[in-house]
């Protein structure tokens, strides 16, 4: 046997470019994610709760800590504008906490800040993408909506009160402006939702993580819409009793970044 012959004891090489990448003996990573049934949109919330429930107190504490941090950021001039850029760093920390809890059963609150030490550039890149998309959404809304308001104002100056037709057309333009803003924002979430998990758990570069995030979202639009609808209702109800329910639903929402990633990208 020559040195060029294959060594049977050499582990096989793998890459995220392959169809699948074996993580360990029990799990397989699927680049680009897989399509799941619509009902999985609700199961993502259930899985997040199942992870949170055994360490509920620790997660409530983490939610309070994160809330205080975000409040401080929002009160600091100029820094509050960049809150969207910073947020993926904390999401990455929460992903790290979830991964460690799944592996060891322990919640390490210190990992909330792990994104500042590892993968900082890529996580900031995720935030910068989301921030840019939010700015674009507001620009589109103001351009389209502003033109409608300008048309109403000019019509009022030219002939008194604007006609019903003009008011209706302007109202339609305002609705279009709001709709465009929502669509652009949803595209931003599609690009960035799974990116922190892919960066933290798999060390993917920014471009690849964003591309895979968009791919997974496109395959699961119906489950995603169901998830956000149910999660929104849960958070709305939890905010009614003086907002106390948010102590639980806020960390629950952040854990869904992890449960959705596990559902679409990991096969057991």
Per residue in 60-111, pLDDT tens?
Answer: 999 999 999 988 988 887 777 788 899 999 999 999 999 999 999 999 999 9
From residue 185, alpha-carbon distances to 41, 135, 253 in Å are 20, 9, 18
Share of the chain above pLDDT 70, in %: 81
The model's pLDDT over 237-248, given as tens digits with 9 standing for 90+, comes to: 998 878 889 999
- Collapsing DSSP to helix, strand or coil, 207 comes out as helix
> Which position has the higher pLDDT, 10 or 45?
45
Local confidence band at 266 (pLDDT 50, 70, 90 cut-offs): very high
Q: pTM (2 decimals)?
A: 0.82
Helix (H) or strand (E) holding 64: helix 56-75
CA atoms within 13 A on the CB side of 140: 17
Q: Is 193's pLDDT higher than 60?
A: yes
Percent of the chain with pLDDT over 90: 61
Q: What is the pLDDT of residues 139-184, one digit of tens each?
A: 888 887 666 556 555 555 555 455 554 455 566 777 777 888 888 8
Q: What CA–CA distance (Å, rounded) separates 200 from 92?
A: 6
Residue 227 CA to residue 181 CA, distance in Å, equals 20
Tokens of residue 234, six digits = 């849960």
Question: Looking at residue 15, what is its pLDDT?
Answer: 42
118 burial level (CB within 10 Å; 0-12, 13-18, 19+): middle
pLDDT of residue 42: 95
Partnered with residue 217 across adjacent β-strands are none
Q: SS3 of 22, please?
A: strand
CA distance 195 to 26: 23
- 144-158, 197-211, 229-243: which has the minimum mean pLDDT? 144-158
Cα–Cα distance measured from residue 97 to residue 228, given in angstroms and rounded to the nearest whole number: 23
Q: Rounded to whole angstroms, how far apart are CA atoms 84 and 266?
A: 27
Alpha-carbon gap, residue 139 to 106, rounded angstroms: 44
Q: What b/e readout covers 2-34, taking b as 16+ CB neighbours within 10 angstroms? A: eeeeeeeeeeeeeebeeeeeeeeeeeebbbbbe
What is the arithmetic mean of pLDDT over 193-217? 96
According to the model, what pLDDT value does residue 170 have? 60
What pLDDT does 173 receive? 73
CA distances from 46 to 35, 212, 230 (A): 18, 24, 11
DSSP single-letter state for residue 194: S
pLDDT higher at 244 or 57: 57
Alpha-carbon span 172 to 169, nearest angstrom: 5
């Amino acid at each position: 046997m020559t040195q060029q012959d294959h060594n049977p004891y050499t582990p096989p090489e793998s890459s995220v470019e392959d169809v699948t990448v074996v993580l360990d003996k029990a799990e397989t990573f699927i680049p680009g994610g897989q399509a799941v049934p619509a009902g999985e949109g609700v199961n993502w919330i259930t899985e997040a709760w199942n992870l949170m429930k055994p360490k509920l107190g620790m997660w409530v504490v983490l939610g309070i800590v994160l809330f205080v941090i975000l409040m401080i950021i929002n009160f600091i001039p100029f820094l509050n504008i960049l809150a969207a850029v910073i947020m993926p760093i904390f999401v990455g920390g929460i992903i790290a906490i979830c991964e460690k809890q799944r592996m060891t059963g322990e919640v390490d609150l210190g990992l909330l800040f792990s994104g500042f030490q590892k993968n900082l550039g890529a996580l900031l890149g995720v935030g910068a993408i989301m921030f840019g998309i939010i700015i674009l959404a507001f620009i589109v809304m103001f351009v389209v909506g502003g033109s409608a308001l300008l048309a109403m104002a000019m019509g009022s100056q030219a002939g008194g009160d604007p006609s019903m037709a003009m008011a209706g057309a302007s109202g339609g333009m305002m609705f279009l402006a709001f709709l465009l803003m929502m669509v652009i924002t949803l595209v931003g979430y599609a690009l960035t939702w799974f990116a922190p998990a892919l960066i933290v758990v798999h060390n993917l570069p920014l471009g690849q993580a964003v591309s895979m995030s968009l791919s997974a979202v496109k395959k699961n639009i119906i489950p995603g819409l169901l998830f956000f609808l149910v999660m929104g209702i849960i958070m709305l109800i939890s905010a009614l009793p003086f907002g106390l329910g948010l102590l639980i639903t806020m960390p629950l929402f952040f854990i869904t970044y992890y449960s959705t990633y596990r559902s679409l990208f990991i096969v057991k």
